[in-house]
Chain A
Amino acid sequence: MADEKQHGSGAVEPGDTSKRVGAEVIRERGVDPEELREKLIDAIGAEFTTYYYYTNLRMHLAGEEDYKEITEDARLEDRAHFELVVPRVYELEGSLPNDIRDFADRASCPDAEVPTPMDDSGDFDTSELEVEDILEVLLEAERCAIRTWSEICDMTRDADPRTYDMAQRILNEEIDHEAWFIELLSKERDDEINPAGHFARGEPGDAPYSTNNRFNDSA
């Protein structure tokens, strides 16, 4: 066999491990893989912070077991979104920030904090905390996520089917979540029936569209 390598093609030399064809094919189709990767880090930063903040929001829906259950689904599915996309960041030659404060600062959606001030002892002042206020925080967090993943779908459509597939799966679930919280907030705040068309997930945080392969039960 001659020295020439018949399988070599494109901008990546045969045997070159410093570049990834998986990234270069995206560039060839007009999307900057580095820009996309950074946007993905922002987006999963929001999923990760949301997972954290939803833990707190869920805790404070005290006595509202049905609301807590649905918030738990959204909470766990947001973590599933983070888990789904992390490998894609590394495939695109990125990494998670070493400092979690940087990760939170660059998250593409606002902190979903419990909507009440802290009291003098550093605890949440729950004296005027209303369920409807928590539901509104949850709703607006989901809306932000819908906008973010729609942007990523726009960015990757016709250029990066792998990321697009992930983004549209996540978007499906974020739209579910918005519908759930519209239903709950409508009833709680306005006493209006505004059905989400929601059926219970198979198990908490089932993530029917976005869950990673169930190769690791601890994840």
Chain B
Amino acid sequence: MTHSSDETWTVTMVIPEESSLAAAGETHRIEVAEDETILAAGRSAGVWLPADCQQGWCTACAARLRNGEVVHPHARRYYEEDREAGYVLLCTAKPRADTTLVIDQYDDFLEFRAANDKPPGNSKLNS
């Protein structure tokens, strides 16, 4: 456990081999403060993570929780189904435990949202 007195957690980011990101196949560990988003911490640490709106809406930053805990206090469009399925929006996600995430899950997340009849799933996939 690396939870320290100044409220930071270790976030491990697994970037799949098949990702189009420059860091595909790599795993990065960063320290993220309680009030910091994982996206901001990652980019500050030099890991270019995908994102767009950075308000928890567009889903470009979608990731999948492998273990740990995050919260999304300011996400504009994040559903209970997303949380139950372990999807995370990095732009608004803040850790509450040491956490491991699989990055670059946008396409899978769109399918998930569509299957749950939640935007922007069907509006994107049926265009």
A and B pair up: yes
State the A residues within 8 Å of B (CB). 38, 41-42, 97, 101-103, 105-106, 108-110, 140, 143-144, 147-148, 151
- Smallest CB-CB separation from A151: which chain B residue? B52
Cβ contact within 8 Å between B53 and A148: yes
Cβ contact within 8 Å between B57 and A109: yes
- Which residues from chain B contact A41 at a C-beta distance below 8 Å? 127
Chain B, 50-92, CB within 8 A of any chain A CB? 51-55, 57-58, 60, 76-77
Cβ contact within 8 Å between A97 and B52: no
- Which residues from chain B contact A101 at a C-beta distance below 8 Å? 123
| B120 beta carbon closer than 8 Å to chain A | yes
Cβ contact within 8 Å between A148 and B55: no
| B119 beta carbon closer than 8 Å to chain A | yes
Partner of A108 from the list B52, B122, B126, B127 (CB cut-off 8 Å) is B52
Partner of B55 from the list A97, A105, A110 (CB cut-off 8 Å) is A110
State the B residues within 8 Å of A (CB). 51-55, 57-58, 60, 76-77, 119-120, 122-124, 126-127
- Which residues from chain A contact B58 at a C-beta distance below 8 Å? 42, 108-109, 148
A42 vs B53: C-alpha distance when bound (angstroms): 11
Cβ contact within 8 Å between A106 and B123: yes
Taking the nearest CB of chain B, how far is it from the CB of A80, in angstroms?
A: 21
Cβ contact within 8 Å between B53 and A105: no
A49 vs B64: C-alpha distance when bound (angstroms): 29
26 contacts between A and B (CB under 8 A): A38-B127, A42-B52, A97-B123, A101-B123, A102-B123, A102-B127, A103-B123, A105-B122, A106-B119, A106-B120, A108-B52, A108-B53, A108-B57, A108-B60, A109-B55, A109-B57, A109-B58, A110-B77, A140-B55, A143-B54, A144-B53, A147-B51, A147-B52, A148-B52, A148-B58, A151-B60
Cβ contact within 8 Å between B76 and A110: yes
Cβ contact within 8 Å between B120 and A105: yes
Taking the nearest CB of chain A, how far is it from the CB of B104, in angstroms?
A: 14
- Which residues from chain A contact B51 at a C-beta distance below 8 Å? 147, 151
With A105-B119, A110-B77 given, is the CB distance from A38 to B52 under 8 Å? no
A102 vs B124: C-alpha distance when bound (angstroms): 8
- Which residues from chain A contact B55 at a C-beta distance below 8 Å? 109-110, 140, 144
Taking the nearest CB of chain A, how far is it from the CB of B119, in angstroms?
A: 4
A110 vs B78: C-alpha distance when bound (angstroms): 12
- Smallest CB-CB separation from B56: which chain A residue? A110
- Which residues from chain A contact B57 at a C-beta distance below 8 Å? 108-110, 144
- Which residues from chain A contact B124 at a C-beta distance below 8 Å? 38, 42, 106
Cβ contact within 8 Å between B120 and A147: no
Q: Can you add 13 more A-B contacts, CB < 8 Å, to A109-B53, A109-B58, A151-B60?
A: A42-B120, A102-B122, A102-B127, A103-B123, A106-B127, A108-B53, A109-B57, A144-B53, A144-B54, A147-B51, A148-B52, A151-B51, A151-B52
A144 vs B123: C-alpha distance when bound (angstroms): 20
A57 vs B120: C-alpha distance when bound (angstroms): 24
A103 vs B126: C-alpha distance when bound (angstroms): 12
- Smallest CB-CB separation from A94: which chain B residue? B127
- Which residues from chain A contact B60 at a C-beta distance below 8 Å? 108, 151
A102 vs B58: C-alpha distance when bound (angstroms): 13
A140 vs B92: C-alpha distance when bound (angstroms): 14
